[in-house]
Structure 1
Amino acid sequence: MDTLKVSILTIFILFFSCNENKPSIEKQWYKGNLHTHSYWSDGDEFPEVIMDWYKSNGYQFVALTDHNILAEGEKWKTISKDSIYQNAFKNYLKTYGSDWVTYKVDSLNRTQVKLKTYEEYRPKFEENGKFLIIQSEEITDAYNGKPIHINATNVKRKIDPQGGNSVLEVMQNNLDEFAKHKKEFGTPIIAHINHPNFGYAIGLEDMIALKNEQFFEVYNGHPAVNNSGNDEYIATELMWDYINIAYLENNKPIMYGLATDDSHHYHRKGSKWSNAGRGWIMVQADTLSAKSLISAMETGQFYASTGVTLNDLTFENNTLSVAVKTDENTTYKIDFIGCKKGQGEPEVFASFGSDKASFELSNDMLYVRCKITSSKLHQNPIEDLLFEKAWTQPYIFTE
């Protein structure tokens, strides 16, 4: 009997000892979009319809980022006479019901609808561990007619545009204001530079001169933002490389790249319209919370995509490895891109026609990142960006 008791006790101890050595929470990949617009500014749909679309299409988190406004207080939207929007309102009313929808018809026979606030629509869609809505804002500023837009994710109050006497000063003033906001509320918050080639407003020199910024859009799904550049201006992806070459040579943190929708149009679809579903990020975090997602992003634990999904992404012992979740009858090209110390120019270190590949970073290299290009056409492309892609973050050599 004593021997039996000892055996049981030993098994009990071993069981709990083994469990103690396991991570308490295994990290998961969460899909999200951090740039979205609604009727609260210049989008053409109600927040509820937008949230329902993202949730129904496999996203786990979304940030509604209307221009210089939060979804709070009272705001009424006059519905356009266009039959598309009239029918959309009828569908909205039918879906959510008269108990939810507050509207009136004015003396000019115009339908006006009271928009639901963030605090009102949020509980309707959020589910613990399944779907999260992050209160955010697109701070919309300018200098000499040049549009300068910066998204603030997980804000606690509205942030006003700060202005300035140059493009760089406008950006820096707004970033400094974000830092004050973060300190004031003691909450995780990130700011990212939006579509630098929109109006070709933000040049490479401006991006390089920034202080305390680590995020920008390497891809934006709006058809007017010039991701690909032109004969005079470089593409945002190439800009990304030059930014990181300058940053790392000057001991600044890495600049991380996001893909976003910047969605405005939910009723007309095509290359002329800013639609949902074009670009997103996949974040590897322990929980689906703003704090966890932002913490993961701040350490580069995410990748950007316009359609390619990764089964595996690791950086261990200075080796970057990726494995693609494959689609039938689809091929993939995996490029490892970076820069050698002192060279000042990005280059393709290695290229593979495969769905998985690895590359070992050496100490004579500033960084390496990976771009995966699929042979599958994007379902709703813009510019000349016809094929689905994914971009990892840049990684640096560690001793």
Structure 2
Amino acid sequence: MRLIQLLLLLIVIAACDSSEETVEEKNWYKGNLHTHSYWSDGDDYPEMIMDWYKSHGYDFAVLSDHNVLARQEKWKLIPKSPTHKKALDKYLAKFGEEWVEYREDSAGRVEVRLKKLEEYRGLFEEDGKFLIIESEEITAGFEKKPLHMNVTNIQEFIAPQGGSSVPEILQNNLDEVKEQREATGEPMFLHINHPNFGWAITPEDIMQLNGERFFEVYNGHPYVNNYGDSLRPSMEVLWDKVQVAYLQAGKPLLYGLAVDDAHHYHVFNEKSSNPGRGWVVVRSAELAPAALVEAMEAGDFYASTGVSLEKLDFDGRTLSLKIEEEEGVDYTVQFFGTRTSSPEMYGELFKEVEGSQAEYTMQKEDMYVRAKIVSNKLKENPYKPGDTEVAWTQPVRMEQ
């Protein structure tokens, strides 16, 4: 009997150890989910862009060009400008004449064949170190309003869907992604890009959607109006307003992404849309598309423009975090949420903590809570002059 009890005890201990190992095996992976190349309106070659992200410490990246997947034959006519000539020279210097295919016509114009994803993927991908995820920026419009949506881990091209209103167009494209996901069995998601670009998408538009889980709380393009204006909300205000409407309607939480939306890789300044401005950091069991998508759908990630977290936990009631400190940098942690007793006061500041560690224990009335970490370190090549490095955790709800 004692031997059986001992064996059972050992089995329980082994199971606990295995469970702990599973948790410990999860790693943080840094990635960008919105970037452009010569395949649409970016100004550099796919290989040069992937080389930039990999060499700058990213673990995964996408090329999300407008209404196209890098799968067919495409030749790019290179504009006659010093910037574009320099870009071709750098491309040739990096990858060589045997790799780069180009031709010149009788008028002296140069065309370069753009490499397909499957051609250059092997140059960069390494198990557990760097991953390229296929993506498309579905680009539609309604009454001159730009309606842009990225599909992460897309499997087949999706043509932009139309409709008779902004919400209908967004929903029709959401439904296309859902249909492809169900048909292929591959996890993927659509997120709403830069709602304030062209003041195209309002909180009320997003409130009407079914199945939308992600939007860009921060986009590095200089013309997307992240901070709103005197008449229209900032992305953070939009986030909280939609969040309340979603939860009141019994919908899942809405999560916020930070992205580059990079188009320009040669001139770095406040008027250009450059890489390195915003990213997500995902806690995942492996560096693989399905695992990353599933982790993000569980809210197990944060968005950042420079602040890194050493610890981020939610035990069902208390949200706690620890910042990876930089010497000489000060931090303020702000916990925002909304109470059931006053839903009109969406995005209320519940608590503010100075320092590198903070926690907030949810109260019964709290619909959700999210944290924003603000540093006093100026952002290098910022979205707007004077911006400091920040990070946003995803909203959480108290477990009943």
TM-score norm. by structure 1 comes to: 0.95
CA distance in 2, matches of 1:249, 1:187: 30
Equivalent-residue separation in structure 1 for 2:331 and 2:306 (angstroms): 12
Aligned counterpart, 1:231: 230
Summarize deviations over 1:25-47 as a string: whole Å, max 9, x none.
61100000000000000000000
Letter in 1 for 2:325: T
2:53: which partner in 1?
A: 54
| Cα pair 1:305 1:390 within 8 Å, conserved | yes
**1:181 corresponds to:** 180
Give the deviation of 1:22 after TM superposition.
3.8
User: Take 1:161 and 1:13, find their aligned partners in 2: how far apart are those partners?
Assistant: 54
| Counterpart among 21, 24, 49 of residue 23 in structure 1 | 21
What is the identity, as a one-letter code, of the residue corresponding to 2:248?
A: E
Partner Cα separation in structure 1 for residue 88 and residue 364 of structure 2: 59
Query: How much does 1:223 deviate?
Result: 0.3
Contact kept, 8 Å, 1:229 with 1:235, in 2: the verdict is yes
Superposition misfits of 4+ residues, deviation over 6 angstroms: 12-18
Query: 1:345-356 residue pairs with structure 2 within 5 A?
Result: 345=345, 346-356=347-357
| Native 8 Å contact 2:316 2:397 kept in 1 | no
1:18 CA displacement: 7.2
Q: Which amino acid aligns with 1:177?
A: E
Asked whether the 8 Å contact 1:228–1:383 carries over to 2, the reply is: no
Separation in structure 2 between the aligned mates of residue 35 and residue 199 of structure 1, nearest angstrom = 18
Corresponding residue number in structure 2 for 1:275: 274
Residue 172 of structure 1 corresponds to 171
- Equivalent residue number for residue 3 of structure 2: none
Distance 1:241 1:215 in 2: 13
Q: Is the 8 A contact 2:29 2:284 kept in 1?
A: yes
Cα distance in 1, alignment partners of residues 184 and 321 from structure 2: 38
Which stretch has the larger CA shift, 276-285 or 321-330?
Answer: 321-330
Give the aligned CA root-mean-square deviation in angstroms: 1.7
The Cα of 1:20 is off from its aligned counterpart by 4.0
Partner AA of 2:59 in structure 1: Q
| 1:118-153, Cα deviation, whole Å (9 max, x unpaired) | 000111100000000001100000000000000001
Deviation at 1:21? 5.1
Corresponding residue SS for 1:333? strand
Q: What SS does the corresponding residue of 2:287 show, helix, strand or coil? A: coil
Compute the displacement of 1:91 (Å): 1.5
Determine whether 1:108 maps to 2:107: yes
AA aligned opposite 2:21: P
Q: Which residue of 2 aligns with 1:6?
A: none
Asked if 1:324 is matched to 2:306, the reply is no
Once the two structures are overlaid, the 10-residue window that deviates more, 144-153 or 308-317, is: 308-317
Distance in 2 separating the partners of 1:57 and 1:16: 40
**Sequence identity percentage:** 50
Counterpart for residue 291 of structure 1? 290
2:378 maps to 377
Q: Distance in 2 between matches of 1:14 and 1:254?
A: 35
Which stretches in structure 1 are left out of the alignment for 5+ residues?
A: 1-8
- Residue identity matched to 2:354: G
Please tell me whether the aligned partners of residues 321 and 359 of structure 1 are also in contact (alpha carbons under 8 angstroms): yes
Higher mean Cα deviation, 214-223 or 341-350?
341-350
1:226 and 1:383 in contact (8 A); partners too? no
How far is 1:383 from its partner? 3.1
- Partner Cα distance (2:209, 2:323) in 1: 34
- Aligned position for 1:259: 258
**Residue type at the aligned position of 1:23:** E
**Contact 1:339–1:366 at 8 Å: present in 2 too?**
yes
For residues 223 and 13 of structure 2, the distance between their equivalents in structure 1, rounded to whole angstroms, comes to 59
1:18 to 1:139, Cα distance in 2 relative to 1, 3 A = closer
Partner Cα distance (1:208, 1:87) in 2: 46
State the one-letter code of the partner of 1:386.
D
1-side partners of 2:86 and 2:191: how far apart? 36
1:392 maps to which residue? 393
Question: Corresponding residue for 1:339?
Answer: 338
CA contact (8 A) 1:76 1:114 kept: yes
Question: 1:252 offset after TM fit, Å?
Answer: 0.7
Preserved contact between residue 228 and residue 384 of structure 1 (Cα < 8 Å): no
SS in 1 for 2:112: strand
For 1:282, give the aligned amino acid: V
> Are residues 135 and 333 of structure 1, via their aligned partners in 2, closer, same or farther at CA, if it must alter by over 3 Å?
same
Shift of residue 342, structure 1, vs aligned partner: 3.0
Once structures 1 and 2 are overlaid, which stretch shifts more, 48-57 or 84-93?
84-93
Residue pair 2:270, 2:385 contacting (<8 A) in 1 also: no
Distance 1:367 1:220 in 2: 24
Q: Which residue of 2 aligns with 1:131?
A: 130
Distance, in Å, in 2 between the alignment partners of 1:237 and 1:33 is 20
Counterpart-to-counterpart distance in 2, 1:20 and 1:236: 41
Q: Secondary structure at the match of 1:23?
A: helix
Rounded to whole Å, the distance in 1 between the matches of 2:189 and 2:52 is: 25
Deviations 1:47-102 (A, max 9, x none): 00000000000100001100000011110111121112112101211211111111
Partner of 1:80: 79
Deviation at 1:327, TM superposition (A): 1.0
Q: Contact 2:337–2:348 at 8 Å: present in 1 too?
A: yes
Amino acid of the structure 1 residue aligned with 2:231:
E
Partner of 1:246: 245
What is the total number of aligned residue pairs between the two structures? Answer: 390
Q: In structure 1, what is the equivalent of residue 4 of structure 2?
A: none
Deviation at 1:236, TM superposition (A): 0.7
- Cα 1:171–1:385 change in 2 (3 A) is farther
- Structure 2: how far apart are the matches of 1:233 and 1:30? 34
Residue 366 of structure 1 corresponds to: 367
Aligned partner of 2:208 in structure 1 is: 209
2:21 aligns to what SS in structure 1?
coil
Describe the SS at the equivalent of 1:170. helix
Letter in 1 for 2:105: D
Shift of 1:385: 6.2
Deviation at 1:244, TM superposition (A): 0.6
How far 1:180 sits from its partner (Å)? 0.9
